[in-house]
A and B are shown apart, each in its own frame.
Chain A
């Protein structure tokens, strides 16, 4: 059974349909990259996957013993979290909250898990540093460690490299691939940095207010939608560089 299934789902904002015809499934070990331009419905779909927004038709459901609250989520950074006085450890530990239920305090085991994930992302030296004083790449690592505290199976990453320089982006992509290959964590990533993002992906979901393409990366590169999008993105990249 698939970890996550989307059956003919459609989402709307204020009664206005913004993405429809979503049919895909994510299996354990997959690395799904969701691509599309701004306003194509990517963020809405993320909210749908996280159960923060209900579909107007169709359904989105988790299987394979995955509960929706066990999705490790790496959100886009908000203005509040950027100047927040908190240590890296406090931030990472807060990822254990979903396993606490109504219990008020973290257990010793929770703290161990937080420390394990801090080591996994090689930020032990930043453990007691103030989150707001870290570089963008270091902040993303801390948030990724927090996301890992919330899940053992599925990570959902929303534009993980936005605001990072190319070196830090590549490093982050490397970490994500490692988590996917070595720790067998399923990845769903949203990105508009198409080349960087699809490099390691196994599956692609292309949105433009509806589902343009879903399938493996190889099929996508040879598909009509894929060719067009990759060429356009290539031109955009060229434009940025020169």
Chain B
């Protein structure tokens, strides 16, 4: 069930991105990159690596895999640039591509987990001070299924039907995973 008349967080972010000046600059860079201009593609990397890395880091749960996935996403983007037609902002297009790359890599791992495998994360011994870092560490320690659904839904603004389609799971499973993730995080952050 979606809220009638309201846009998701992701849609709002996409609209904001589409009307920004940087989107126009990106469109020009993307056109140059499509023609084989590597320098233009590097500029796109500079502009979007941080956003994509945040996504990869939170979905993968560790920096090592996140770095591999980020590189894979940009390599895949270079290969698929010919499919970018400018209907949406480059950032939107690339973000979706990144999600698909990460989910594709993690899907097999996710399916190997029992559906009800969720445990409360332990507090990271080396967690840095500050609530944000505690929250990041707690997210990273969630079981894969719960973490991925939580990041996609609560951080990235995806809806359950979209998540279910991406992950190849039932909508109900997505909701259960989100519920468990939130419960575990509340418990962790409240302890």
Task: Answer yes or no: do A and B interact.
Answer: no
Binding site for A on B (CB under 8 A): none
